[in-house]
Amino acid sequence: MRYPIPDLAPSERHVHAIEIEKSRFICWLCHAPDSAAFDTLLNEARATYPDASHHCSAFIAGAPGEQVAIGFSDDGEPGGTAGRPMFQALEGSGMGQVGAVVTRHFGGTKLGTGGLVRAYTQAVLKALETLPRRAFTERRAVAIQVDFSHEAETRRWLAEHDIPVASADYDSHGARLALEWPADDSVSLTSLEQRLKGALVRL
């Protein structure tokens, strides 16, 4: 499966702020390949603004559409007015491995439930507009062995098909290559086998 994810380093944050009725909403976005990466972002937001009224949050730690590694929190705002709308904004973007925290500094004017939903949704959507993205391909481990005379040709074919070689070991039989193969099998290993005409062995 191939989908967009934030093009951010593990410690990098994408931050955007909006103001509504004198309340300031600061949205933090991060690359969240797992829930631990998202927890790090949430702790950073709390440490940076310890006096903020709320630190509401949402994350999708896996592929878009999956319902396993997800979560959201209203952090004291009325139920359903912050975390879920934030999650729906992330979900609507079609992205995976993304986390969001919206820090609110209360400005003195109550927004009501509808106003809060709109504010938290808008905070995330505005931040997403300028978030750098890159394509991510889910992969699985595949191991093959090729004789020495076909290693260079095999590596060229793998590079042409965007298949990384995670590691290589050598023995008297040739090169053992550990590959990061597309999990959806969008590239066929059979085509490489046919090209090498018996010089490749699946391990």
CATH of 2-135, one of 3.40.50.300, 1.20.120.140, 3.20.20.70, 3.30.230.30: 3.30.230.30
Read off the pLDDT of residues 54-80 as tens digits, 9 standing for 90 and up.
999 999 999 998 877 999 999 999 999
Q: In this structure, what are the phi and psi dihedrals at residue 46, rounded to the nearest 5 degrees?
A: -65, -40
Q: Which residues contact 152 (CB under 8 A, 6 or more apart)?
A: none
Domain 138-202 has CATH 3.30.70.240: yes
Read off the pLDDT of residues 102-153 as tens digits, 9 standing for 90 and up.
999 999 899 999 999 999 999 999 999 999 999 999 899 999 999 999 999 9
User: Where do runs of H (alpha helix) occur along 56-147?
Assistant: 83-92, 112-129
Question: What's the rounded Cα separation, in Å, for the pair 171 and 97?
Answer: 39
Q: How far apart are the first and last CA of the chain?
A: 24
- Residue percentage of the chain with pLDDT more than 70: 100
Question: What's the rounded Cα separation, in Å, for the pair 169 and 118?
Answer: 56
pTM of the model: 0.81
Going by the DSSP 8-state scheme, the letter that residue 145 receives in this structure is E
Q: Where are the domains of the chain?
A: 2-135, 138-202
Q: What is the pLDDT of residue 67?
A: 73
Q: In this structure, what are the phi and psi dihedrals at residue 56, rounded to the nearest 5 degrees?
A: -85, 155
Q: Which residues contact 186 (CB under 8 A, 6 or more apart)?
A: 2
Tokens 């959201």 found at: 72
